[in-house]
């Protein structure tokens, strides 16, 4: 795999599993991994951001992250994507849920589990900088943590994000933080998809009851959710032309 690539492209063969927003839930992480055939190089797994920062009593963010780093090094078919919670450590930016500073909490958790902050935090930040922002499949799917950005007006703008290494511009900010309705609408999704020549988009970030279709965008909640925990199990050899076809690839964790 190329160094420092923000866009991972998957060919039109094999299988793709997509899940998102684990937020430190080790039990769910293990359940999703059981569905993945790590030894089959055509069986891909995408973890669509926010694997750290727990909202649960038992925060397994460090255990999950250590395992994700190992698997990312070992397997070319394992694709973690950057979320805004991982980004907060790159940017050294506080991230609050209510009154809890989750960035600070994670640093405390590292000290608790490893008995010192460094070199662990620096290694984690280097890893966050090495993972993609986007996965694009040849059969028509584009995956990012959230977005799209209204700032992306043409293909050159998109290429700029992919080739740049800045984490602080409006483009990058929007694909990590944007909310549907507030920051983009269904027309923005369609405009962006046309621009990058994909048919449907998959995001996490916004908490829903398992899944929600927002125009041509599927919002997934696979662990931290308002009820159901949903994921995608996609045959990459079959074109996905529209939302109806994507919805056929949807599964729930406890079914």
Interface positions with Mn ion (CB under 5 A)? 50, 83-84, 205
Smallest gap from residue 102 Cβ to Mn ion (A): 11
Name which of 183 and 235 has its Cβ closer to Mn ion: 183
Smallest gap from residue 145 Cβ to Mn ion (A): 6
Name which of 43 and 82 has its Cβ closer to Mn ion: 82
Q: What is the SS3 assignment for the chain?
A: CCCCCCEEEECCCCEEEEECCCCCCHHHHHHHHHCCCCCCCCEEEEECCCCCCCCCCCCCHHHHHHHHHHHHHHCCCEEECCCHHHHHHHCCCCCEECCEEHHHHHHHHHHHHHCCCCCHHHHHHHHHHHCCCEEEECCCEEECCCCCCCCCCCHHHHHHHHHCCCCCCHHHHHHHHCCECCCECHHHHHHHHHHHCCCEEEECCCCCCCEEEECCEEEECCCCCCCCCEEEEEECCCCCCCHHHHHCCEEECCC
Smallest gap from residue 40 Cβ to Mn ion (A): 29
Query: Closest residue (Cβ) to Mn ion?
Result: 205
Name which of 92 and 115 has its Cβ closer to Mn ion: 92
Smallest gap from residue 222 Cβ to Mn ion (A): 12
Smallest gap from residue 139 Cβ to Mn ion (A): 26
Name which of 77 and 88 has its Cβ closer to Mn ion: 88
Name which of 155 and 168 has its Cβ closer to Mn ion: 168
């Amino acid at each position: 795999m190329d160094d420092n690539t923000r866009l991972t492209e998957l060919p039109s063969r094999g299988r793709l599993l997509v899940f998102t927003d684990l937020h430190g839930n080790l039990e769910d992480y293990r359940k999703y991994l059981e569905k993945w055939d790590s030894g089959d190089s055509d069986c891909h797994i995408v973890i669509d951001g926010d694997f750290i920062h727990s909202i649960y009593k038992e925060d397994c963010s460090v255990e999950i992250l250590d395992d994700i780093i190992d698997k990312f090094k070992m397997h070319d078919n394992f694709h973690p994507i950057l979320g805004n919670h991982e980004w907060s450590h790159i940017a050294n930016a506080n991230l609050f849920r209510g009154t809890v500073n989750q960035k600070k909490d994670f640093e405390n958790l590292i000290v608790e589990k490893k008995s010192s902050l460094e070199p662990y935090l620096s290694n984690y930040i280097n890893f966050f900088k090495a993972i993609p922002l986007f996965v694009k499949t040849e059969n028509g799917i584009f995956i990012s943590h959230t977005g799209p950005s209204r700032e992306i007006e043409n293909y050159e703008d998109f290429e700029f994000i992919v080739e740049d290494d800045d984490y602080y511009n409006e483009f990058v900010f929007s694909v990590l933080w944007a909310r549907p309705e507030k920051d983009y609408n269904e027309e923005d999704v369609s405009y962006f998809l046309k621009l990058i020549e994909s048919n449907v988009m998959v995001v996490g970030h916004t908490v829903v009851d398992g899944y929600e279709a927002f125009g041509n965008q599927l919002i997934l909640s696979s662990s931290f959710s308002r009820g159901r925990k949903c994921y995608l199990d996609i045959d990459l050899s079959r074109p996905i032309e529209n939302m109806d076809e994507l919805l056929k690839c949807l599964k729930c964790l406890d079914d």
